[in-house]
Amino acid sequence: MISKQTLIKVIGIATILVFVWLVFDPTSSELRTKHKETLLKKRIEQGVEKIKEIDKEIQR
């Protein structure tokens, strides 16, 4: 089974990659900054929810 620490690292790296992709992706240059922030917040919230779900499974 994957350790919780490894999982948190993977999700953290994924979040950073998503942020970099949103900021530097040339196809998204027409998107407004607020829209980028909204997308990033949604992805971070999804990651946090995933961590909470996995924490619950680990505690069982």
Whole-number pLDDT of residue 27: 62
Whole-number pLDDT of residue 13: 92
Per-residue tokens: 50: 């995933």
Q: pLDDT tens, 5-60? A: 888 898 999 999 888 877 776 565 565 677 778 888 888 899 888 888 888 888 87
**Total domain count for the chain?**
1
CB 36, CB 22: distance < 8 Å: yes
Q: Which amino acid is present at 10?
A: V
Task: Please state, in angstroms and rounded to a whole number, the distance separating the CA atoms of residues 20 and 42.
Answer: 15
Whole-number pLDDT of residue 2: 74
Print the domain residue range for 30. 4-59
Task: Please state, in angstroms and rounded to a whole number, the distance separating the CA atoms of residues 19 and 13.
Answer: 10
Q: How confident is the model at residue 4 (pLDDT cuts 50, 70, 90)?
A: confident
Residue 1 reports pLDDT greater than 60: yes
